[in-house]
Amino acid sequence: MVTLVTESATETRPPRVRNHDREGKGERVGYEPTALVVTRVARQPPAGARPNRRREAVLFHKDAAGRLLEGAGDRVPREMTVRGFMLRQNPAYRPGDSHLTARLATVLLLAAGACSAPIPRQSPTPVESPAPVAAPATPSLWVIAGDLLAREYLVEQAAEISVTTDSVTSTDSSTLVVAASVRSTAGGGVSGLVRSATVRVAAVNDSVFPGVALPLVFSGAPPSRGIQHALTGRTLPADPCQSPAHVLLGSIRDLFVPLPDTLKIGTTWADSSVSESCRGGARLAGGTTRRFSVRRYEVRDGLPVLLVDHRSTSRLRGTATRGGDTTVVEGLGSGGGEFVIDALTGAVVSVTTSATLEVTIRGTIRSERARQLLRTRVVRASR
> Residue 354 in contact with residue 373, Cβ under 8 Å?
yes
Which pLDDT score is estimated for 126? 53
User: Each residue of 82-96: pLDDT tens digit?
Assistant: 343 333 444 444 444
CA 221, 224, 229, 230 dihedral sign is negative
Query: What's the mean pLDDT in 238-264?
Result: 90
CA 202, 204, 210, 212 dihedral sign is positive
Band of pLDDT at residue 111, cut at 50, 70 and 90: very low
CA distances from 84 to 20, 222, 349 (A): 20, 74, 55
pLDDT of 182 > 80? The answer is: yes
Instruction: Give the SS3 label for residue 25.
Output: coil
pLDDT of 382 > 90? The answer is: no
Which pLDDT score is estimated for 231? 92
Q: Count of CB atoms within 10 A of residue 159's CB?
A: 16
Instruction: Give the SS3 label for residue 241.
Output: helix
| Mean pLDDT, rounded, of the chain | 75
**What are all long-range contacts of 25-28, with beta carbons under 8 Å and residues at least 24 apart?**
25/90, 25/92, 25/93, 27/93, 27/95
Q: What is the pTM of this model?
A: 0.63
